[in-house]
């Protein structure tokens, strides 16, 4: 049998809200809110996708979110929404144009099924390590639902013709339209158009096939779990003597792909519990060895790479790293690396920010006031503000087959869960 070779991206028949139902359905991504926040947000909203993505909210308080009955409840809730006609699957494979509007910011991307094979060969490029426990959770969730419901956020390099096709698709009447609610994504508008035209579908597939790579922005655990499920199902088919053609739905994963120049990364700031046993003057003396220090009259939002804000004892200072300390390699030159390698590790003694309980991370969407609050309350001793990582930096790290330090990027706006799902 000839093995089917999937394209980099493919159209698929999405499961999505019935006409007019999107505002009742769409929900923040499963991993940006905790169980209690999800429970509050879903109250009085029986068709919220949170009943599928955070199904522990429908079980007794205190239920382990990784218990087998939680995954079973999610599958039950998905079938209930399909049976009620709240969610319907398209009859044919399509692409979808997805527009996000957050304030003045607008980005338009393509909802597609991305190739697991190209993920496995690193044509769909990663920039983060994954945690086995988080992968296991996504594998169990996808297997229970027999569907991928959490899209992976991808970026494509400059492709003006793709941008133009997607822009043209958004000129018609949308097929879904809703405003995000809740602790994450409140006020963001999510709009979807179905691309059914065969010529447009063929051209988009062709244009993406010509690209050297796609880049994972957010969703490393979702893509890794899709790869694991594909390998497991392929092996099971072959073990039973059944055919594996490469065209089965499990050979692809749900993705939304935006042009890299439209995507917006916020700063990802740090707060630290103590000065590692140093007095304030001794700490500042050590900082001065690697950074130029300037007192500031207001909160410091760094204007350029290599600049940092330090909030300590009710005062803001601007730090600028010595130029000779900036290496050429794509990971070492990142601001998160410069700060870690020249201040957080050597002075504050935090060598493993992924596991050390003395450090925490605050997404820039919360503003610098959020940093001040945590220091002024006495919870933390100091805060450090950073310049946002650029998409070009992220792509350079991925191209070098390297990984970024923990908490390097915070993408906004976030995608909605429930706008389109991929049935396996």
CATH number of the domain bearing residue 372 = 3.30.1760
Query: Each residue of 78-122: pLDDT tens digit?
Result: 999 999 999 999 999 999 999 999 999 999 999 999 999 999 999
Residues 320 and 335 in one domain: yes
Residues 158 and 235 in one domain: yes
Whether 383 and 116 have beta carbons less than 8 Å apart is answered as no
Rounded Cα distance between 42 and 181, Å, is 10
- Report if residue 396 sits inside a domain: no
- Report if residue 236 sits inside a domain: yes
Residues 291 and 219 in one domain: no
> Residue 104: which H helix or E strand, with range?
none
Residues 53 and 116 in one domain: yes
Residues 81 and 161 in one domain: yes
Residues 276 and 237 in one domain: no
Q: Is 365 a residue whose pLDDT tops 80?
A: no
Rounded Cα distance between 297 and 417, Å, is 42
Residues 146 and 252 in one domain: yes
Bridge partners, 187 (sequence order): none
Buried-exposed string 323-346: b where 16+ CB fall within 10 A, e elsewhere: eeebeeebbebbbbbbbbbbbbee
The residues near 34 (Cβ < 8 Å, ≥ 6 apart) are none
Bridging pattern class, strands 105-115 and 382-386: unpaired
3-state secondary structure 9-65: EECECCEEECCCCHHHHCECCCCCCCHHHHHHHHCCCCCCCHHHHCHHHHCCCCCCC
Buried-exposed string 351-387: b where 16+ CB fall within 10 A, e elsewhere: eebeebebbbebbbbeebeebebbbeeeebbbbbbbb
pLDDT for residue 405: 85
Boundaries of domain holding 303: 268-387
Residues 233 and 287 in one domain: no
- Report if residue 369 sits inside a domain: yes
pLDDT for residue 243: 76
Classify 320 as helix, strand or coil: strand
Residues 152 and 62 in one domain: yes
Count of structural domains, the chain: 2
pLDDT for residue 2: 46
Residues 383 and 417 in one domain: no
- Report if residue 401 sits inside a domain: no
Whether 272 and 344 have beta carbons less than 8 Å apart is answered as yes
Rounded Cα distance between 114 and 123, Å, is 11
Rounded Cα distance between 30 and 52, Å, is 9
Rounded Cα distance between 373 and 345, Å, is 24
Q: What average pLDDT does the chain have?
A: 93
List strands edge to edge, sheet with 315-321. Answer: 291-296, 315-321, 307-312, 382-386, 268-272, 359-363
Residues 107 and 221 in one domain: yes
- Report if residue 399 sits inside a domain: no
- Report if residue 102 sits inside a domain: yes
Rounded Cα distance between 110 and 256, Å, is 5
Q: Is 300 a residue whose pLDDT tops 80?
A: yes
Residues 250 and 304 in one domain: no
- Report if residue 284 sits inside a domain: yes
Rounded Cα distance between 381 and 315, Å, is 12
Q: Please tell me whether the overall predicted TM-score, pTM, comes out greater than 0.75 for this model.
A: yes
Q: Is 1 a residue whose pLDDT tops 80?
A: no
Whether 247 and 5 have beta carbons less than 8 Å apart is answered as no
Rounded Cα distance between 114 and 384, Å, is 37
Percentage of the chain with pLDDT > 90? Answer: 84
Range from 178-182, 269-273, 296-300, 312-316 carrying the lowest mean pLDDT: 178-182
Q: How far is CA 303 from CA 47, 184, 274, 333, 371, in A?
A: 43, 26, 27, 16, 17
Classify 155 as helix, strand or coil: strand
- Report if residue 212 sits inside a domain: yes
């Amino acid at each position: 049998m000839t093995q089917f070779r999937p394209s980099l991206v493919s159209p698929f028949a999405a499961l999505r809200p019935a006409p007019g139902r999107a505002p009742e359905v769409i929900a923040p991504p499963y991993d940006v809110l905790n169980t209690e926040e999800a429970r509050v947000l879903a109250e009085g909203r029986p068709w919220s996708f949170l009943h599928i993505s955070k199904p522990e909210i429908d079980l007794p308080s205190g239920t382990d979110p990784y218990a087998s009955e939680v995954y079973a409840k999610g599958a039950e809730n998905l079938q209930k929404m399909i049976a009620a006609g709240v969610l319907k699957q398209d009859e044919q494979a399509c692409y979808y144009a997805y527009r996000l509007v957050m304030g003045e910011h607008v980005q338009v991307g393509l909802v597609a099924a991305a190739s697991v094979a190209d993920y496995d060969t690193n044509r769909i490029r990663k920039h983060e390590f994954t945690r086995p426990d988080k992968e296991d959770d996504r594998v169990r969730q996808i297997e229970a639902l027999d569907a991928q419901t959490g899209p992976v956020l991808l970026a494509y390099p400059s492709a003006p013709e793709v941008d133009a096709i997607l822009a043209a698709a958004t000129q018609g009447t949308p097929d879904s339209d809703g405003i995000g609610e809740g602790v994450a994504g409140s006020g963001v508008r999510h709009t979807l158009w179905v691309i059914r035209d065969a010529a447009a579908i063929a051209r988009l597939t062709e244009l993406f096939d010509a690209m050297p790579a796609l880049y994972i922005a957010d969703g490393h655990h979702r893509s890794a779990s899709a790869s694991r499920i594909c390998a497991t199902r392929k092996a099971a088919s072959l073990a039973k003597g059944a055919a594996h053609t490469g065209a089965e739905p499990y050979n692809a994963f749900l993705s939304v792909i935006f042009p890299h120049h439209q995507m917006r990364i916020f700063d990802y700031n740090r707060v630290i519990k103590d000065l590692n046993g140093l007095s304030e003057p001794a700490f500042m003396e050590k900082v001065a060895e690697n950074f130029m220090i300037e007192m500031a009259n207001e909160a410091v939002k760094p204007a350029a790479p290599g600049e940092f804000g330090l909030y300590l004892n009710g005062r803001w200072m601007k730090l600028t790293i010595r130029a000779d300390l900036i290496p050429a390699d794509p990971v070492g030159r990142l601001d998160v690396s410069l700060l870690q390698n020249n201040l957080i590790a050597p002075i504050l003694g935090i060598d493993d920010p992924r596991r050390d309980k003395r450090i925490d991370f605050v997404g820039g969407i919360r503003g610098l006031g959020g940093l001040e609050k945590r220091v002024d309350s006495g919870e933390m001793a100091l805060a450090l503000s950073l310049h946002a990582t650029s998409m070009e930096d992220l792509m350079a790290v991925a191209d070098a087959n390297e990984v970024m330090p923990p908490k390097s990027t915070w993408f906004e706006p976030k995608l909605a869960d429930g706008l389109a799902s991929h049935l396996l």
